[in-house]
Amino acid sequence: MKTCPKCQKGKLEKVDDITLDIEKHIFVVAGERCVSCQEEFPYEKETQKTIDIARKLGLWPESVKLQH
Ligand SMILES: [Zn+2]
């Protein structure tokens, strides 16, 4: 397993219940969560898929950029 890039000590475990809150709409995606600090790291393709959906729904301003 990978070590959390945020706290540098926790391990990342696979989860499929990460919630992304986009303009008050909750999307659930798969990814990894740190067992120590609870930071969530959704898979990039899952995030991208969610953004595509959000854009179609008109929820995601074009100016917003994801941070990686
Ligand atoms: Zn962590």
Query: What global pTM score does this model have?
Result: 0.76
Output b/e per residue, 33-52; b: 16+ Cβ within 10 A: bbeeeeebbbeeebbeebbe
The hierarchical CATH code for the domain 1-68 is 3.10.20
Distance 43 CA to ligand 1 centre (A): 16
Residue 59 reports pLDDT greater than 90: no
Write the CB contacts of 20 (distance below 8 Å, at least 6 apart in sequence).
26, 27, 28, 29, 42, 47, 50
The pLDDT of residue 44 is above 80: yes
- Judged by phi (left if over 0) then psi (alpha if -120 to 50, else beta), residue 66 lies in beta
Q: What would the mean pLDDT of 15-32 be, rounded to a whole number?
A: 94
* Rounded distance from Cα 58 to ligand 1 centre (Å): 33
* Alpha carbon of 51 to ligand 1 centroid (Å): 25
- Domain positions in the chain are 1-68
Q: How many whole angstroms separate alpha carbon 8 and alpha carbon 22?
A: 28
